[in-house]
Chains A and B, each alone.
Chain A
């Protein structure tokens, strides 16, 4: 076998240009498949990361009126929608798929936040419970977080994020300073940052607003201090952290069911809690990109097919050219099988090398695509192995007819061949 392989190499090297041209179809086919598959994988990972937040696994459960999510910043809750009680929260916490629950209220783009005479441009205030930082992956960078006392006793304390710290205090030490939220004084006790940040992808207006409000900074106050600042106690938003990514849909559904049981609204106003399943959104987006890209893979496979036919053609030429050699080998006692294996080896060495070159060019191509088209790529080891094995198989399949032809040559006809 090793002998056969080294013979195949010798043969290839003696017909360099011919071998290269023969491999070209395989190279192009494999290269485009690798490039496409890497792009698919990269895009899918990006979709998943961006929508779900890498490893965060949180699901927002929101109140919907019909198909629209309600926003209590602009409208008041219909009667029959109570604030979420401690018992309801515990029930949700007891769902198998749920790891932690946080309830919070939020006001966006406020222009009523001051430090001394300086106004924060477009701040964002969140009234949070003790789980919020954990669920949303915040950690305290400076000062301290809220204590039990802060949560229980309506303390007018605040934690700000680093953006607010920068915009409002401009390098001054923020800890211990008092800021003004809707006319009420709150004492800054800490600065929080997101443990893992990812670049958001802005594709819709909503994305833009989310991003913008994030970008203008956040101020956190304890849940119970919310009515002090806003003089109003609307139902909370509910966010659950699922035990893992795959549990997200179930966690969202079950939590929404529990919340819906607390509602006492009439049918016709059509208000309901729904888990906003980012996982499903991610999946449907992935499906979309998969199905378009699968078509590309088929097109690339045609190139492989054409490459395979090229290999078959050149192998047939090679068998004809080497008829005398085959005849001599048979005269010296080579069995059919040996001739067959020799030619099959030659074909598959040819296509395997084509495959390897194809993989390398595919990786380069993928990098180039990711540079110029701004598409993320992720090269998988599995696809590389499959590609090389597959091109070897192409060699064996398309080399079969020429090899059988060689093996079945009548020795005397082969020896007489001019």
Chain B
């Protein structure tokens, strides 16, 4: 089991009032799983995703990731987990606009301390894999939405992380681009990468092996997905 969440609570402070967003979330993910999490807007999907991605901390509950108790980890350890074990894909791509496609993909390698020449080479390979070898010297603004998201996936996967986290990866894309992204996810998953994806589109969720539903801060298995 790569991810084991038990009794996770998350409150946000609105002024001094704590507003509960996650209430007793239990989630287990095995290595190689492909999970889609659905739910209405404001139900706490992103909140859960941020905790899984070690970007935010739960208010209460235990969270074991790849054998490590995340609540005990130092700032430095969390940085390294985010760098090496997790890849992020965001709805709005989050590419650095002033840097080239290649430089964007190189970033996680830079933080991992990989030398310049090796970085170049690895980033190039990753871009070839997502079909963007022609665009390596472009600026992100010169790309279409689907291309931007593929750059983001190349960047997320550059350090060979165990898990790919995607928060509405197709939310800003047209159907065709969305399908391409899902094809990429499928390939990655068949290579053994664990994927947790948030979406509110049923068709997109159907690509996953398992679909979960969040409603009012509680998570439930709702059936569906490729495994059923």
Contacts and interface: CB of A to CB of B under 8 A. Distances in A.
A5 interface: no
Contacts of B53: 331
Nearest to A324: B94
A3 B99 CA distance: 12
Contact of A331 (B76, B82, B98, B159): B82
Nearest to B51: A412
A332 B88 contact: yes
B56 A412 contact: yes
Interface stretch (A192-200, A293-301, A333-341): A333-341
Interface in A105-129: none
Contact of A333 (B80, B94, B96, B98): B80
B94 A335 contact: no
A329 B103 CA distance: 13
Contact of A332 (B75, B98, B108): B108
B82 A332 contact: yes
B158 to A, nearest CB: 9
Contacts of B88: 331-332
A334 B80 CA distance: 8
Contacts of B108: 332-333
B88 to A, nearest CB: 5
A328 B94 contact: yes
A333 B55 contact: no
Interface residues of B, number: 23
Contacts of B96: 325, 328
A321 to B, nearest CB: 12
B110 interface: yes
Contacts of A411: 55-56
Contacts of A10: 98
Interface in A306-350: 324-325, 328-336, 338
Given A333-B84, A334-B111, A412 B94 contact: no
B35 to A, nearest CB: 20
B210 interface: no
Given A332-B88, A412-B50, A412-B56, A338 B111 contact: yes
Contacts, number: 56
Interface string A405-418: 00000111001000
A334 B88 CA distance: 14
Contacts of B79: 330, 333-336
Interface in B58-81: 75-76, 79-80
A14 interface: yes
B123 to A, nearest CB: 13
Contacts of B94: 324, 328, 331, 415
B148 interface: no
Prevailing SS type, chain B contact patch: helix
A412 B55 contact: yes
Contacts of B76: 335-336
A332 B107 contact: yes
A121 B225 CA distance: 120
B83 interface: yes
B155 interface: yes
A3 B75 contact: no
B93 to A, nearest CB: 10
B95 to A, nearest CB: 8
A331 B55 contact: yes
B153 to A, nearest CB: 13
A330 B82 contact: yes
B222 interface: no
Contacts of A328: 94, 96
Given A14-B98, A329-B107, A336 B75 contact: yes
A10 B53 CA distance: 31
Interface in B103-151: 107-108, 110-112
A334 B112 CA distance: 8
Given A324-B94, A328-B96, A412-B50, A333 B112 contact: yes
Nearest to B110: A3
A34 B98 CA distance: 37
Contacts of A412: 50, 55-56
Contacts of B82: 330-333
Interface string B155-168: 10001000000000
B112 A415 contact: no
Contacts of A331: 53, 55, 82, 88, 94
With a 10 A CB-CB cut-off, give which of A10, A14, A333 has the most chain B CB atoms.
Answer: A333
Interface in B38-59: 50, 53, 55-56
Nearest to A415: B55
Contacts of A415: 55, 90, 94
With a 10 A CB-CB cut-off, give which of B53, B76, B94, B108 has the most chain A CB atoms.
Answer: B94
Interface of B: 50, 53, 55-56, 75-76, 79-80, 82-84, 88, 90, 94, 96, 98, 107-108, 110-112, 155, 159
20 contacts: A328-B94, A329-B107, A330-B55, A331-B94, A332-B83, A332-B88, A333-B82, A333-B83, A333-B159, A334-B79, A334-B83, A334-B107, A334-B111, A335-B76, A335-B79, A336-B79, A410-B56, A411-B55, A412-B55, A415-B90
7 residue pairs, one from A and one from B, having the closest CB atoms: A333-B83, A412-B56, A333-B111, A412-B55, A335-B79, A333-B82, A411-B55
Given A325-B96, A329-B111, 12 more contacts: A3-B110, A330-B55, A331-B53, A331-B55, A332-B83, A332-B107, A333-B82, A334-B83, A334-B111, A335-B80, A411-B55, A412-B55
